[in-house]
Amino acid sequence: MQQRFVGPSGLRVSRLGLGTMTWGKDTDEHEARDQLVAFVDAGGTLIDTAAGYTDGRSEALIGSLVGDVVPRDEVVLATKAGIWRRGGERTSDTSRGALLRGLDTSLRRLGTDHIDLWQVHLWSDDVPWEETLGALDHAVSSGRVAYVGVSNYTGWQTAQAATWQRAVPGRAPLVSTQVEYSLVNRRIEHEVLPAASACGLGVLPWSPLGRGVLTGKYRGGTPSDSRGASRAFSSFVETYFDEHSRQVVEAVCRAADGLGWTPLEVALVWVRDRVGVCAPIVGARTASQLKVALGSEGRTLPPEIRAALDDVSDPFTGYDG
């Protein structure tokens, strides 16, 4: 698998990342191992998780596998902080104390002495952003983190944070932003992508398959074994059951038929090769599903197909800020 630098930094990652949002819950240890083996065998290096995924079980499961399935120094461990589960409730806290305590917990779960890419999971108006960014500086200066980034920031938030980090001597520069980006959600092209480009941040798209909708599996209804049929993820998936998304999915499926590809490959390659993108993060329910995504490595969309998909998924349709 090809490797890419994240922004102008020296951090190199595989151009496809392994998402682990459901590891430790819907994805058990055996399935997780199979996925990690398939990913590493294909040349993948970037493993993405978060402290808030499955109450920390995702990080713990990764920690139990890295070192066994693959040497620690052959993968890039990326995790996020700022979203937690407390008393069964989801909460956010981007204060310096919470972030640094969370970092120590993540290190213990992952079974490592450093995290390659540590990201603030979300922006919070409850905590001064200077305090939040100060926690990133301390994490890097203490040697517990190599590179830092942000996630789910708007365009102005991205620009403000990145500019502050580069303007003040001694601060750790942001190298990445992780945001949702797919053929059914191109809103980041309005402000986030230009901000990332201007500030030298690499883009790590999450949900590049439109929360599974772009695979075409929901065209005839909701499969009983899909995330769309689960209580936890149904509303998450149904966001893209609207008419515009349906038209995009149909275009993807037509392109796939003409190319002899799967719809998944068409949608994934489209995102992977967008300007500024480093590595889409792909989460799969099974190792066999992941292998389909990994099979896209040698694919390149013909210019006329890319142009047609660009047109039908026009990002100015339904722009909401």
> Tell me: the pLDDT tens digits for 178-216?
999 999 999 999 999 999 999 999 999 999 999 999 999
CA distance 129 to 164: 10
229 has pLDDT over 50? no
Share of the chain above pLDDT 90, in %: 86
CA distance 301 to 264: 13
137 has pLDDT over 70? yes
Residue 119 bridge partners (DSSP): 80, 149
49 has pLDDT over 60? yes
156 has pLDDT over 80? yes
Quote the pLDDT of residue 227: 57
Looking at the 3D structure of the chain, how many domains does it have? 1
Q: What is the 3-state secondary structure (H, E, C) of 135-167?
A: HHHHHHHCCCEEEEEEECCCHHHHHHHHHHHHH
281: domain CATH number? 3.20.20.100
Q: Give domain status of residue 95, yes or no.
A: yes
Higher confidence at residue 248 or residue 316?
248
Give the catalytic positions in this structure: 53
pTM of the model: 0.93
CA distance 145 to 258: 45
Domain region containing 194: 3-212+274-299
pLDDT band at 228 (very low <50, low <70, confident <90, very high): low
Q: Give domain status of residue 266, yes or no.
A: no
Q: Give domain status of residue 123, yes or no.
A: yes
318 has pLDDT over 50? no
Quote the pLDDT of residue 221: 61
pLDDT band at 39 (very low <50, low <70, confident <90, very high): very high
Q: Give domain status of residue 44, yes or no.
A: yes
pLDDT band at 237 (very low <50, low <70, confident <90, very high): confident
Quote the pLDDT of residue 165: 96
